[in-house]
Amino acid sequence: MPLVVYKGAHGSNDFPLHFAFFQAMADRGLLDRIDFALDPMLDLDYCLKLQENFPQLQLTTSVSRARRMMGFTADTIGRFYRPFSLLDHFDAVIEGPGGRIHPNYTRTDIFRLYPKVRRRALIFHSIEQDILALDKVRNSIASCDLVIPRTRSSAEVARMAGADRVVTSTDIVWYRGKLTSGYQPGSALALRTIDNPDFQNNVRDMLHGLHGLGRNFDFVRVEEPIGQEMEEKGYSTGKLDGIRMFSGDDMYQPFCTVRDTIVSCRLHTTLLALMHGNRAIMQFQIEKGTNKIREIFDDLGLTSLRVLGSEDYTLGSIIDFLEAPNCLPEEEIKAEWRGPVVLSRRVWTPWRNGWIFCKS
């Protein structure tokens, strides 16, 4: 069977994407026909969790002597020794789903640690136009046999970068489709912060003010240092009436039931909330220089779901929404949301005539 590297799996923030991808592979029997090896470079613990759920998965360090050597040098001298990658014998490499291909995160060849692997795929990312000015990033996208962006605009950027086989899709989390769930009173909030003292103080004011309302709130743990402050104040211990905090593998739990309202600064807390029947949603885009959330909503036909910027990210605006939430209109609720097409036979084929990713 072909041996395919799956790189980029890391962090609890993106677990809905990776779990959805491998569940889709398992449902179609592809995990028994293609050997997937997880690259643990970014997050070994996370890769081990994927293995627990999908026993067919392996680690690159268990199937490649070169990867074991790279791991050894990382542990002993604090960095990977890249020439070892020239000893690899993988049949293909996939840059797994999650996040953005954007200069803030990606400034060099996406596949630089797999220089010998010529069959490449890039799946379920937002690919943003600023990367076209970066030769190494643009060329690595153009080198792919298959690119499956999660928005129409991302697909256009991939084509402009020179990718030959581009299949427009939506986020892989939609593989599960619409879900039904029970009602749980209260609100679920996925607030975020950035490394800016004024911004962080604004988030502290939000948390203090929301606690003072005396309502039931389930919070996702905010980035540090505020996350630790929430811990110290008892958000996760039950000491605060009506207040709970979720993090790690449980961070999406409050969004998998129907709630009175959803306030979200994240993409997947909102997508999962939508899949579970939530319609009263306040969405913020805290990251600067991106329209990825707006583009995904527009592709899904959710044009009335507003995406607010940091200038509207205030305690007052959130309280106003909680008092009088706006719900998605019925015609958008009944719309047939598109699912991903990654597993179409036209796109993905098992090992046949030496090819893994279909080129025609």
Please tell me the predicted confidence (pLDDT) of residue 337.
53
Residue 339 has pLDDT above 70, yes or no: no
- Over range 142-162, report the average pLDDT: 94
Residue type, 180: T
- Over range 27-51, report the average pLDDT: 91
Please tell me the predicted confidence (pLDDT) of residue 357.
53
How, if at all, do strands 120-123 and 281-284 pair?
A: unpaired
- Over range 126-149, report the average pLDDT: 95
Please tell me the predicted confidence (pLDDT) of residue 179.
81
Please tell me the predicted confidence (pLDDT) of residue 224.
95
1 vs 354, more confident: 1
Please tell me the predicted confidence (pLDDT) of residue 347.
47
- CB contact set of 68 (below 8 Å; sequence gap of 6+): 61
- CATH code that applies to domain 178-333: 3.40.50
Its pTM surpasses 0.95: no
Q: Which fold has domain 3-175+339-357?
A: Rossmann fold (3.40.50)
Stretch among 49-63, 127-141, 150-164, 287-301 having the lowest mean pLDDT: 287-301
Phi and psi, residue 343, nearest 5°: -100, 10
- pLDDT, one tens digit per residue, over 184-214 is 999 999 999 999 999 999 999 999 999 999 9
HEC letters along 130-181:
HHHHCHHHHHHHHCCCEEECCCHHHHHHHHHHCCCCECCCCCHHHHHCCCCC
